[in-house]
Amino acid sequence: MDKVCAIFGGSRGIGRAVAQVMAPKGYRLALVARDLRVAQAAASDLGGDHLAFSCDVAKEHDVQNTFEEMEKRLGPIRFLVNAAGINRDSLLVRTKTEEMVSQLHTNLLGSMLTCRAAVKTMIQQQGGSIVNVGSIIGLKGNSGQSVYSASKGGLVGFSRALAKEVARKKIRVNVIAPGFIHTDMTKHLKEEHFKKNIPLGRFGEAIEVAHAVVFLLESPYITGHVLVVDGGLQLTM
């Protein structure tokens, strides 16, 4: 049977790097993002028989329809990576309610919706593996990132609880908590300013996170784990 993996946020950054690690390992991939053209370009760069789908993870109907479409075209989803996410830094007193809602809906509710859809299929398939991409900020907190931090901290609680709920069904759920990684999300940041607090002295690369994601995805005896990939940043926070 095909090893089918849905990667939400697979069009760019960390999700795309996960796809680049998985494609040569024989997985059939569904790359999912709002911008279909970018996702299609990422899928065709992989070569092989991978597909792109357009979906806003914050919208229940979108997620439901995307799972139906993915399963029709690729077969049952056995692996899920939730890398779709947004970050809008601002002090809480200046943060509009709509900004709170959009971060919580994309980063937290979105992963709940995709996990719910995937777990239904994984129960029927008698097994599956999920990796949710959190953040070191969700574990440590950071000034100007209270809402983002809440969304990522919530993802840890959600993932650990779900790991307990579905373990008997042979479904594993783990979390990756990256530090500063070179992607579109961090391109506005001055690395010089932040790297003095990173023991390894640099931002990470998406591919370095991707290898850790795939490690968790494929590790048969690890569940409910939060793996930090941050160049040692947590040691100084």
Ligand X SMILES: NC(=O)c1ccc[n+]([C@@H]2O[C@H](COP(=O)([O-])OP(=O)(O)OC[C@H]3O[C@@H](n4cnc5c(N)ncnc54)[C@H](OP(=O)(O)O)[C@@H]3O)[C@@H](O)[C@H]2O)c1
Residues serving a catalytic function are: 148
Interface residues for ligand X in 140-179 (CB under 6 A)? 178
Pairing of strands 226-229, 171-178: parallel
Task: At 211, list the tokens.
Answer: 């290898």
Asked if 63 is part of the footprint of ligand X (rule: CB under 6 A), the reply reads no
Q: Are 33 and 39 in contact (CB under 8 A)?
A: yes
Q: Half-sphere exposure (CA, 13 Å, Cβ side) for 166?
A: 28
CB of 128 or CB of 231, closer to ligand X: 231
* Of 4-12, 44-52, 66-74, 216-224: span binding ligand X (CB under 6 A): 4-12
Q: Does 34 bind ligand X (CB under 6 A)?
A: yes
Span interacting with ligand X, options 30-38, 89-97, 113-121, 162-170, rule CB under 6 A: 30-38
Q: Are 123 and 169 in contact (CB under 8 A)?
A: yes
- The reply to whether 106 sits near ligand X by the rule CB under 6 A is yes
Question: Binder to ligand X among 47, 97, 98, 184 (CB under 6 A)?
Answer: 184
Under rule CB under 6 A, residue 125 binds ligand X: no
- When binding is defined by CB under 6 A, the residue of 66, 103, 114, 183 that contacts ligand X is 183
Q: Report how far apart, in Å, the C-alpha atoms of 138 and of each of 18, 54, 81, 121, 232 are.
A: 21, 27, 18, 29, 15
| Least separation in angstroms between CB 8 and ligand X | 6
**Amino acid at the residue 223:** T
What is the closest distance, in whole angstroms, from the C-beta atom of residue 210 to ligand X in the complex? 10
Q: Please say which residue, 168 or 188, places its beta carbon nearer to ligand X.
A: 188
Instruction: Cite the DSSP H helix spans in the chain.
Output: 13-22, 36-45, 60-74, 97-104, 110-125, 136-140, 146-166, 191-194, 206-218
Which residue from 88, 24, 80, 84 is spatially nearest to 59, judged by alpha carbons? 84
The amino acid that residue 144 corresponds to is: G
Choose between 39 and 122: whose C-beta lies nearer to ligand X: 39
Does the footprint of ligand X cover residue 11 (CB under 6 A)?
A: yes
Residues engaged in binding ligand X (CB under 6 A): 8-9, 11-15, 33-35, 38, 55-58, 83-87, 106, 133, 135, 178, 180-181, 183-186
